[in-house]
């Protein structure tokens, strides 16, 4: 049985760090409020010349280097993003060209904050069915350019960045001892659209628009949706919460992360948290967190790693993989 195994990982952040104190100068907020409600202390904000494609390219280069692969070895690029460089073509083809890759397929995936989970699931399906052999899965965002910087209820929450992994098709035994993606569980429910959306678009306003959110409504649904897809991953693989070495959640809010871990019975020592440093970087948050925990030696080869995300749509999903 073919498994999609992580061979390399990378990350990139903009140069400029914006601590909460800096936002106190522009909107009616305080560091104390932001930390208490969200756990966020700072975020990175893209400057001139830093775009979703440039950040994605940098993350991809590091992932390729760690994998020991030349760019031409890649035959699939999926970029999870809701903040592309252009309406079209896909940011993935831009990154493909920047890397000098001339073969294979490249496309974007739009599932907002769940984008990286959806992209991993998609790459897994391509690799297992033989449509591709080596994939770059990238989560890259410049959400700062979608924010209404006068809206204190949203502008304090998000940041920019990118993360990437290289997945390779490897023959496995078909058991949960295999390295690679063991299951992916994806869900969407468009009836929640109005709770988290961007109020512009190509075929409606002809503008980019700004992010709008009913934060309390999102919060209310998050923990239940996250635990639903995690329990589905356990059921699909016959694993249990005790088997998990690392939970790498989407980094939206410390309270959602802690609430989900508590409901599932996962001790906080096994949860990777970067939201304090990065804020919510949407589709980039999971690969940025993976990079943090794998590069400092916490996540080791053979560890069982659980990814989960929930975001606009709503969309939500989980991926269970052995590192
Ligand atoms: C956004 C969020 C942090 C707000 O926290 P909350 O405890 O729900 O706070 P509320 O929205 O109830 O607002 C409480 C008060 O704080 C105020 N407030 C909102 N943003 C503020 C800010 N940045 N600074 C200071 N006060 C703020 C509100 O106006 C409100 O004031 P009021 O009671 O006078 O009306 C929280 O709802 C949340 O994290 N939701 C999930 C958001 C998310 O993760 N989205 C992304 C999913 S991918």
CA dihedral angle for residue 278, residue 281, residue 285, residue 288, rounded to 10 degrees: -50
Ligand 1 atom 17: residue of nearest CA: 153
Round to whole Å and give the CA distance between 242 and 43: 33
Q: In the prediction, which pLDDT does 27 show? A: 98
pLDDT per residue over 184-233, tens digit each? 999 999 999 999 999 999 999 999 999 999 999 999 999 999 999 999 99
Q: Is 311 in the pocket of ligand 1 (CB under 6 A)?
A: yes
Residue nearest (by alpha carbon) to ligand 1 atom 8: 216
pLDDT for 298? 98
Q: 156 in ligand 1 pocket by Cβ < 6 Å?
A: yes
Q: At what angle do helices 285-295 and 115-128 cross, to 10 degrees?
A: 80
Model pLDDT for residues 98-132, shown as the tens digit of each residue: 999 999 999 999 999 999 999 999 999 999 999 99
Active site residues: 113, 250, 280
For atom 6 of ligand 1, the residue with the nearest CA is 216
C-beta of 253 in contact with ligand 1 (< 6 A) = yes
Nearest CA among 110, 58, 47 for reference residue 84: 110
Geometric angle at alpha carbon 55, from 4 and 196, rounded to 5°: 80
Q: Which domains does the chain have, with CATH numbers?
A: 2-171 (3.40.47.10), 180-322 (3.40.47.10)
Minimum CA distance residue for ligand 1 atom 42? 215
Angle at 252 between CA 251 and CA 258, to 5 degrees: 75
Residues 6+ apart with CB under 8 A from 145: 46, 83, 208
pLDDT at 253: 95
239 alpha carbon – ligand 1 mean position (Å):
36
- The per-residue pLDDT for 76 is 98
Alpha-carbon span 96 to 164, nearest angstrom: 13
Q: Classify residue 142 as exposed, middle or buried by CB count within 10 Å of its CB (0-12, 13-18, 19+).
A: buried
pLDDT of residue 243: 98
3-state helix, strand and coil shares in percent for the chain, rounded to the nearest 5? 40, 25, 35
Q: Say yes or no: CB of residue 218 within 6 Å of ligand 1.
A: yes
Confidence of residue 181 (pLDDT cuts 50, 70, 90): very high
Share of the chain above pLDDT 90, in %: 100
153 lines ligand 1 (CB under 6 A): yes
Whole-angstrom distance, CA of residue 277 vs CA of residue 282: 14
Q: Any idea which residue has 């904050």 for tokens?
A: 113
Max intra-chain CA distance, the chain? 57
Amino acid 49: pLDDT: 97
What pLDDT, on the 0 to 100 scale, is given for residue 321?
Answer: 98
Question: Does residue 215's CB lie within 6 angstroms of at least one atom of ligand 1?
Answer: yes
- pLDDT at residue 297, as a whole number: 97
R_g of the chain, CA atoms, integer Å: 18
pLDDT-derived band at 180, boundaries 50, 70, 90: very high
For residue range 253-311, list pLDDT tens digits in order: 999 999 999 999 999 999 999 999 999 999 999 999 999 999 999 999 999 999 999 99
Quote the pLDDT of residue 144: 98
Pocket test for ligand 1, best of 216, 249, 276, 289 (most atoms within 8 A of CB): 216
Q: What is the pLDDT of residue 126?
A: 98
Q: How far is it, in rounded angstroms, from Cα 295 to Cα 307?
A: 17
- Cis? peptide before 78, omega within 30° of 0: no
| Protein residue whose Cα sits closest to atom 44 of ligand 1 | 252
The answer to whether 115 and 82 are in contact (CB under 8 A) is yes
- Best mutation site among 24, 147, 215 for ligand 1 pocket (most ligand atoms within 8 Å of CB): 215
Q: Each residue of 38-70: pLDDT tens digit?
A: 999 999 999 999 999 999 999 999 999 999 999
Q: Quote the CA–CA distance of 14 and 135 in Å, as a whole number.
A: 24
Model confidence, pTM = 0.98
Q: Is 251 in the pocket of ligand 1 (CB under 6 A)?
A: no
113 CB under 6 A from ligand 1? yes
Q: Which DSSP category does 86 fall into?
A: S
Q: Which among 43, 146, 219 is the best mutation to test ligand 1's pocket, defined by most ligand atoms within 8 Å of the CB?
A: 219
């Amino acid at each position: 049985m073919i498994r999609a195994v992580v061979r390399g990982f990378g990350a990139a952040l903009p140069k400029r760090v914006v601590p909460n104190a800096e936002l106190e100068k522009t909107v009616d907020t305080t560091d104390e409020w932001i930390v208490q409600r969200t756990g966020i202390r700072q975020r990175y904000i893209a400057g001139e010349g830093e775009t979703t494609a440039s950040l994605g390219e940098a993350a991809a280069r590091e992932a390729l280097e760690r994998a020991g692969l030349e760019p031409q070895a890649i035959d699939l690029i999926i970029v999870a993003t809701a903040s592309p460089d252009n309406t079209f073509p896909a940011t993935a083809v831009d990154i493909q060209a920047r890397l000098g890759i001339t073969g294979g397929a490249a496309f974007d995936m739009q599932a907002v904050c769940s984008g990286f989970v959806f992209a991993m699931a998609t790459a897994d399906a391509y690799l297992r069915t033989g449509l591709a052999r080596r994939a770059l899965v990238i989560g890259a965002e410049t959400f700062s350019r979608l924010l209404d910087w006068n809206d204190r209820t949203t502008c304090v929450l998000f940041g920019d960045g990118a993360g990437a992994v290289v997945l390779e098709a490897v023959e496995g035994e078909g058991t949960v001892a295999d390295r690679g993606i063991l299951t992916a569980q994806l869900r969407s429910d468009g009836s929640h659209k109005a709770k988290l959306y961007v109020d512009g678009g190509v075929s409606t306003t002809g503008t980019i628009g700004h992010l709008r959110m009913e934060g309390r409504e999102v919060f209310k649904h998050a923990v239940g949706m996250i635990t639903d897809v995690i329990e589905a991953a356990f059921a699909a693989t016959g694993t249990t919460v005790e088997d998990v070495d690392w939970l790498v959640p989407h980094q939206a809010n410390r309270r959602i992360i802690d609430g989900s871990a508590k409901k599932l019975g996962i001790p906080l020592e096994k949860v990777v948290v970067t939201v304090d440093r990065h804020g919510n970087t949407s589709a980039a948050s999971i690969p940025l967190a993976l990079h943090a925990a794998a590069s400092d030696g916490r996540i080791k080869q053979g560890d069982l790693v659980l990814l989960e995300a929930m975001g606009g749509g709503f969309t939500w999903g989980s991926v269970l993989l052995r590192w």
